[in-house]
Amino acid sequence: MPKLFLYLIAIIFILPSCIPKNRDEKGEPVARVYDDYLYLSDLNNQIPAGLRQEDSMRISRRLTEEWIRNRLLLKQAELQLPEDMADVEKQVEEYRTSLLIFKYKQKLLAQNLDSLVTEEEILNYYEENSSNYLLEDDIVQVTYLEIPVSSPEISDVRRWYRSDKLENIESLKNYCQEYAEHYLINDTNWIHFTDLMTWTPLKVDNPSVYLNYNRNIETSDSNYFYFIRINNRMKEGEVKPLSMVRGNIRTVLLNKRKLKYIQDLENTVYNDGINRNQVEIY
């Protein structure tokens, strides 16, 4: 039953032009199945312009074959499932109703919904709903260096990455531009420490405890030295920084705005129909 329903939906919405209202207006037919006709104009509407003649003919034959198969299958369905047809037609009508209403709402949303969410709105929502944004694990802001083991001056790198002096930071940047495979220097983005560990061979059983005692971290494998400096840290259970949830909050606020717009629209249409005597309740 569901396959039949989907099949009928496909025919209704994909091939509507293939059911002529007036045969004389459509010209000469190119195929017939029972009392239904396929016309050249129907095919032309589905064939892209500018094709070579042989390509147009090939597509025409394919479309004609598909139309014939669909019409024959539909006829057999109508003949073999007469008791189910009323239910199918009801489902098709319900689907059509839902689709048209959905498209109408989407059109009005696109035309009228204000999609601008201000920073003030985001901040207010963040502060009012902070308990919904608690960290599941520790996050960090880091300096991260991944340097091939063959690189020179590794002892200088060890000194530079631990330092806050501007000249050392500048030296480290220049060095990394030349030698590092990957690097982040005083990066302001927050990273889950468990994600950071996947960039390295580092294995830690309890990251939260480990971070209590380790700010400067060094490890290596056969190819690279890994240097990590923890510049800032937020612990599990603290409220996530706004920068991590800003996009999520904007989506939440827009969805709330959409729901309110749709509710107001439905109420306005309903009340207008009542006031204009377009509706009677018996």
**What pLDDT is stored for residue 41 in this prediction?**
85
pLDDT of residue 11: 44
Report how far residue 157's alpha carbon sits from residue 148's, in angstroms, rounded to the nearest whole number.
12
pLDDT above 50 (res 16): no
Q: pLDDT band at 24, cuts 50/70/90? A: low
pLDDT at 5: 44
Average pLDDT over residues 137-146: 96
Digit-coded pLDDT (tens) for 188-201: 999 999 999 999 99
Tokens found for residue 87: 């239910």
Q: Mean pLDDT in the chain?
A: 88
Give the integer Cα–Cα distance in Å for 14 and 69.
14
Question: Residues near 133 by Cβ (< 8 Å), separated by ≥ 6?
Answer: 126, 239, 240, 245
Domain at 135-234, CATH from 3.30.70, 3.30.720, 3.10.50, 3.30.460: 3.10.50
pLDDT for residue 38 is more than 70: yes
pLDDT of residue 243 exceeding 90: yes
| Position 263 pLDDT exceeds 50 | yes
pLDDT at 44 over 50: yes
Report the predicted TM-score, pTM, of the whole model to 2 decimal places.
0.68
